[in-house]
Amino acid sequence: MPFTQEPFYTTQYGKAYLGDAITYLRQIKRESVDLIITSPPFALKRKKEYGNVDATDYVPWFMDFAVEFRRILKDSGSLVIDIGGTWIKGQPTRSLYHFELVIALCRTLGFHLAQEFYWYNPSKLPSPAEWVTVRRVRVKDAINPIWWLSKTPDPKANNWKILKPYSDSMKKLLEDGYKAKLRPSGHDISENFSKDNQGAIPPNLLSLANTDSNSGYLRKCREYGIKPHPARFPHGLPEFFIKFLTDPGDLVVDPFAGSNITGEVAEQLERKWLAFELAEEYLEASKFRFQSLYEQSPLFNQQIENTQQRVVSDNEIDDDKRDEIALSQLTLLESRKKYKAKNSTQQKKNKHSQLSTDQDD
């Protein structure tokens, strides 16, 4: 992609860019993208640090992006939007903004609703607290709608690629044989139901607990004192749609990339990817997802220098306090050195294993 701006970083399959997605989207060639998958900022009542748009302004705000989405998608391409619901201020009733969005995308821009999905997070906090845990007049909101939209009525898709293991009772049925007959509903269950397809066709309810608390990304964020992106979807979500809707070598775009989980998953699945993100801190930390990148990060080296300077130069604090800080920072420095050493041996190991597999090939 010949963008006017340089990428923030580049990997084997992808590029991440810093800035407003709209400026980049406008430079992408028409009908060149296979999948746009994203989790835009939701219209939450309590605004987050990454910036939220109000429910009343949401559809017009999104439309500017959606026009470009439609232009850059191939006819076989899909647009997948993970969008959380929200509440009307001051009363226990739901906002309609995410429904209004999907209707506007179809009615105004001519997108097709290929299918609606729901992401169920069983370990979601019981919220909204006022209505769920204080007054107890609603139940916890643990579902995110995911709109799968397409540019034409027949986007590229193949559910053979996302079969899930058969349940125990289905395995038993396959062993014992299906009783072929007309069901009361009129559904004709034929002998064909006894065919073993090596896996079940998944439903449109994706059950994924979002409980990442100790991943490499989070540990490195903690280590370098960077605030992790507070709103990350689980890897399983982009993985499902990338496998379902694209082939290796296809192009996947995430215009609201955040900590760039989409890029990480696309890289693993050998799809080309483009990620756009407004906040430099989030994009910088997303380098932690790509081992080859993060040690080249100025953040990584600068933090170590800063720590060394601070230990010797800070005279404004009283003596006890300064000793305490110096000690904690020395410990921090030690742990970074250890981490760096451990990581470089790890990289050597990886290189070795890569070489040996190359030879095998």
Which residue's CB is nearer to DNA, number 8 or number 42?
42
Active-site residue flag, 82: yes
Measure the CA–CA gap between 337 and 37, rounded to whole angstroms: 38
Q: Provide the minimum distance between the beta carbon of 58 and DNA in the complex, in angstroms, as a whole number.
A: 12
DSSP, res 87: B
Measure the CA–CA gap between 17 and 109, rounded to whole angstroms: 27
Q: Provide the minimum distance between the beta carbon of 187 and DNA in the complex, in angstroms, as a whole number.
A: 32
Query: CA-based Rg of the chain, rounded to a whole angstrom?
Result: 24
Which residue's CB is nearer to DNA, number 101 or number 250?
101
Which residue's CB is nearer to DNA, number 44 or number 189?
44
Which residue's CB is nearer to DNA, number 209 or number 327?
209
Active-site residue flag, 361: no
Instruction: Supply φ then ψ for residue 37, to 5 degrees.
Output: -125, 130
Both tokens assigned to 58: 């949401």
Which residue's CB is nearer to DNA, number 89 or number 187?
89
Contact 196, 108 (CB under 8 A): no
Q: Provide the minimum distance between the beta carbon of 205 and DNA in the complex, in angstroms, as a whole number.
A: 14
Query: Going along the chain, which residue ranges are E strands?
Result: 9-10, 14-18, 33-38, 73-82, 112-120, 143-150, 181-182, 188-189, 205-207, 251-254, 272-277
Q: Provide the minimum distance between the beta carbon of 94 and DNA in the complex, in angstroms, as a whole number.
A: 11
Contact 145, 116 (CB under 8 A): yes
Q: Provide the minimum distance between the beta carbon of 76 and DNA in the complex, in angstroms, as a whole number.
A: 26
Across 202-224, b (16+ Cβ under 10 Å) vs e yields eeeebebebeeeeeebbebbeeb
Which residue's CB is nearer to DNA, number 214 or number 313?
214
Binding site for DNA (CB under 7 A): 39-42, 44-46, 48, 50, 52, 82, 84, 86-87, 89-90, 121-130, 132-134, 140, 144, 209-216, 218-219, 222, 228, 230-233
Active-site residue flag, 39: yes
Q: Which amino acid is it at 13?
A: Y
**Which residues does 115 contact at the CB level (< 8 Å), separation at least 6?**
148, 204
Q: Which of 34, 76, 82, 238 is catalytic?
A: 82
Contact 277, 257 (CB under 8 A): yes
Q: Provide the minimum distance between the beta carbon of 350 and DNA in the complex, in angstroms, as a whole number.
A: 15
Catalytic (active-site) positions: 39-40, 82
